[in-house]
Structure 1
């Protein structure tokens, strides 16, 4: 009888992929760059924008305004059902508390005041 608890022997694949190229890290530069030279300095708030930037903003301004307005409108439209449900829940809870308070005190709620 054979032992059924040992895993069946598998035949090894005939071709096994191997690493054929040695990959070395890139050589370090002879003289390291100073930190300021690696990334350009961002423009300061005091420096005036370039003429090209101003011209581009002038040209694209109306289109950008329209796209931003459309995007905001779309996001607000998507969020309105959830906001509407939360507002309804909050108003319902405020009305319940006011009615419960009026019923427990035995009088009617005063008019002209917000709860």
Structure 2
């Protein structure tokens, strides 16, 4: 037998801090010197002695990032617009139908008295 589905409580407590288990000892960090970072991470891309080359490199990187961002933003915006358009179409159809129906009713109402006057 299945019981009726339970509704969750209105207010659910939230864990705000981690309480260590008294029976568990936290692991120690490994002894010895810290591992050295790769030279590519710590060394600058361009020697500081040539600021013109550094400026050129920064400019080229910014151009590439700009192109990539523009493409991705264009795709994201197009996706959002398509989704919004799909959700708006039914409401637009209803509104257009209502406006057309009202316009036809008004036009017919205006024409009927004219035909009665001019047989």
Normalised to the residue count of structure 2, the TM-score between the two structures is 0.41
More helix by percentage: 2
Normalised to the residue count of structure 1, the TM-score between the two structures is 0.42
